[in-house]
Structure 1
Amino acid sequence: MRIDKFLWCVRYFKTRSLAAEAIKKGHVSVNSQTAKASRDVFPSDKIVLRKDQINYEMVVLDLPPNRVGAKLVDMYIKDTTPQEAFDHLELLKLAKQHYRAKGQGRPTKKDRRDIEDYVEDIDTDDETTEKQA
C-alpha cells in the first residue's frame, strides 16, 4: 500500500492529497529514509511523521483494506510517540495564548486589570520602603 494512502487510511490526514503534500514537503520518513508518496509500506516499517510541531512515531502492524474508523486504528499501527512531544505542544499552546504582539490594538480588559494590579504592587512597595527609611 502507498504511504500517502496508508496515512489517510489510519486517519493521520483528513484527505489523501493532504498526506501526499506532507510527504512531498519531506515531513514523512519510513525506516529513517525520506519517503515519496508512491513508496510502499509493509508491516514492521517504522514511520516518523511531522505534523503540528510533533514528530509522531509509529510502527506498521498490518495494512488496512480501506479507511478505518478511529476505534480500529490501533489494529494497524502502534503509536510510539514519546509523551514529551505532547507536553511540548501543550507548552507551545499556552505560550501562544499568553503572548500578544506589539501593535495588536488596545489592551483587553484582562490586560488592563493586570497592568493596574502591577502598578498597585509597585506603589505599595515604594510606600513600604519610604516608611522604613
Structure 2
Amino acid sequence: MPAQLPSDAISVRVDSWTWAVRLFKTRSQAATACRSGHVRVNGTSAKAAQQVKAGDEVRVRVSGIERIVVVVKPITKRVSAVLAADCLQDNSPPQPPPELIASIPRRDRGAGRPTKRERRDLEKLRGLEP
C-alpha cells in the first residue's frame, strides 16, 4: 500500500492550479499566460509546468489587473467557486473605483503619434513640465 503524503508536501502544476481556483477561464489560457510571463511564483517568472505547493505566492496579471494570491490548498480539479475560495488567500490590492478609471484620458487605437501640443499636454498632466 502506498504511503500517504502530508498535505503540505503535495504540489501541482501552476497552470492547472490557477485554472482550478478560477483565476483563468480555461487551462489553455492559464498556460498561455505562463508562457507570456504574466504568472510569477514567489517572485520569479513561472512556466506552465512549475510546481506550486501550500504557502507559495502566485502573482497573476489578468486583463491588466494584478492578482496576488497565496496557495492554501493545492488542487488539480476545477471545483465550485465556494470551494475554490477556500484553496487560496487573496492578497490583491483593492481595485480603483470605476470613476477613476474612466477619468484617465486614452488615445484611440490607431490614432498615430501624438502631436507636439498633445505631447505637451500629456507631460503637463503627468507633472513632467520642462
TM range (shorter): 0.5 to 0.7
More strand per residue: 2
Structure 1 outlier segments of 4+, above 6 Å: none
Pick from 26, 40, 45: which aligns with 1:29?
A: 40
| Aligned match of 2:82 | 71
Q: Does 1:91 align with 2:100?
A: yes
Q: Give structure 2 stretches of 5+ with no counterpart.
A: 1-11, 109-130
For residues 42-68 of structure 1, give each alpha carbon's deviation from its aligned partner in whole angstroms, at most 9, with x where no partner exists.
000000111111110000001125101
CA RMSD of aligned residues (A): 2.6
Aligned mates of 2:40, 2:98 — CA distance in 1: 21
CA contact (8 A) 1:54 1:89 kept: no
Gaps of 5+ in 1: 102-133
Structure 1 segment 1-133 matched on structure 2, within 5 A? 1-83=12-94, 86-87=95-96, 91-92=100-101, 94-95=102-103, 101=108
TM-score by length of 1: 0.66
Separation in 2 of the partners of 1:89 and 1:57?
Answer: 20
**Which has the bigger relative contact order, CA under 8 A and spacing at least 6?**
2
TM-score by length of 2: 0.68
The structure where helix makes up a greater share of residues is 1
8 Å Cα contact 2:70/2:90 also seen in 1:
yes
Count of residue correspondences: 100
Higher gyration radius (CA): 1
Identity across aligned pairs (percent)? Answer: 37
